[in-house]
Amino acid sequence: MTKIKICGLRSEEDISRVNELKPDYIGFVFVKGRRRYISPRDADLLRTKLDEKIQSVGVFVDAPIKEVAGLLEKGTVQMIQLHGCEDEDYVKRLKQLCDRPVIKAFVIRTSADVEKARTFPADYLLLDSGQGTGETFDWSLLKGMNRPFFLAGGLNPDNVIRAISDVHPYGVDVSSGVETDGRKDYDKMKAFIEMVRSKS
């Protein structure tokens, strides 16, 4: 069954809705200056209200390793998603501190980008069109990808079934595709999840 990740949660209302809809993962964005940024303190509070069956993922860009490890150790997040210039050594040192799953994000524009992602030593890949552009990329580039990956970038209830059929991802990651006026939309989240699960 294709896994579902809803990213960019920021409120108790968001948590209440995902507790009802039950995606597999949710994401907290710890990148200051981003529209969906949440402070570690607020994320910690929301995490206590999250259904224990839903895993929380922390999204970071070139954050100090100790900062990331601290949120893992505290239990605010259970997995890490890296969107910056973090290299193999960064991941190795993070795993030595906290042996929890790491997702490394890659922007895919060419087959060379796919190959770079394929050889990176993370537990999962996240293959995206760009950071929050809301647009898809050429999914045909992913043919032959032999590693578990999350597909992101421009997904919504109208195209997610085609995405799953075309590239068979481990999981799908959505944020703006289930929002209205910058806020998570219950009906869109419900439609997205129902579409994915009807296909799986």
Residues annotated as part of the active site: 7, 128
Are 126 and 152 contacting, i.e. CB atoms less than 8 angstroms apart? Answer: yes
b vs e for 33-70, b when ≥16 Cβ sit within 10 Å of the residue's Cβ? eeebbbebeebbebbeebeeebbbbbbbbebebeebbe
User: CB atoms < 10 A from the CB of 116, how many?
Assistant: 12
